[in-house]
């Protein structure tokens, strides 16, 4: 299975701008720039897209791990924070932090913790990242 996205950039780093599109069409000429990446502005940036991918992948993986425990989630709400830090002359993604809040009828804390940890380690996006991945998981009643 292959998934594709395209990016086009015009101009120099600070004054230039680009557009990102996905094969599915969900993103279509979505703008990105130095300002949307390092300051505030309308549009997206690579780190925001990575955060969305990690949150979505982890949430789906957790639903599978819960299923393996004989459980079904009412809700899985995941927020991912990607941290981009200055490193030498450039930048590096240093952390991906997952903040999970879930409602899972009949789940014990142990089963929830096992499933969340397995999802964190087993989600394909987690496997892609060569960075520290942390998880704050809360089972809500």
Residues 131 and 111 in one domain: yes
- Please list the pLDDT of the chain residue by residue as tens digits (141 residues): 899 999 999 999 999 999 999 999 999 999 999 999 998 888 999 999 999 999 999 999 999 999 999 999 999 999 999 999 999 999 999 999 999 999 999 999 999 999 999 999 999 999 999 899 999 999 998
| Beta-strand runs (E) in the chain | 5-10, 17-22, 30-33, 75-87, 90-103, 132-140
Query: Distance (Å, rounded) from C-alpha 2 to C-alpha 20?
Result: 17
Q: Does 32 lie in the same domain as 99?
A: no
Task: Give the pLDDT score at 40.
Answer: 87
Say yes or no: 122 and 63 in one domain.
yes
Question: Distance between CA atoms of 57 and 122, rounded to whole angstroms?
Answer: 10
Q: Count of domains in the chain?
A: 2
Domain that holds residue 119: 46-140
Domain shared by 18 and 67, yes or no = no
101: domain CATH number is: 3.30.300.20
Tell me: do 61 and 120 sit in the same domain. Answer: yes
Q: What is the pLDDT of residue 22?
A: 95
Is the same domain home to 22 and 76?
no
Q: Strands across the sheet with 17-22, in order?
A: 5-10, 17-22, 30-33
Q: Do residue 66 and residue 18 come from a single domain?
A: no
What was the pLDDT predicted at 88? Answer: 94
Instruction: Report the distance separating Cα 133 and Cα 54, nearest Å.
Output: 10
Do 10 and 68 lie in one domain? The reply is no
Residues 55 and 101 grouped into a single domain: yes
Residues 33 and 50 placed together within one structural domain of the fold: no
């Amino acid at each position: 299975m292959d998934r594709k996205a395209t990016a086009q950039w015009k101009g120099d780093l600070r004054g230039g701008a680009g557009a990102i599109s996905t094969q599915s069409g969900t993103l279509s000429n979505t703008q990105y720039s130095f300002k949307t990446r390092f300051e505030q502005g309308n549009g997206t940036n690579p780190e925001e897209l990575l955060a969305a991918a990690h949150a979505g992948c982890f949430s789906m993986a957790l639903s599978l791990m819960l299923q393996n425990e004989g459980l079904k989630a009412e809700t899985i709400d995941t927020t991912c924070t990607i941290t981009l830090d200055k490193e030498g002359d450039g930048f590096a993604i240093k952390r991906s932090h997952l903040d999970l809040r879930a409602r899972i009828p009949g789940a014990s804390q142990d089963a929830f913790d096992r499933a969340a940890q397995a999802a964190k380690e087993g989600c394909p996006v987690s496997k892609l990242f060569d960075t520290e991945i942390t998880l704050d998981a809360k089972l809500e009643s």
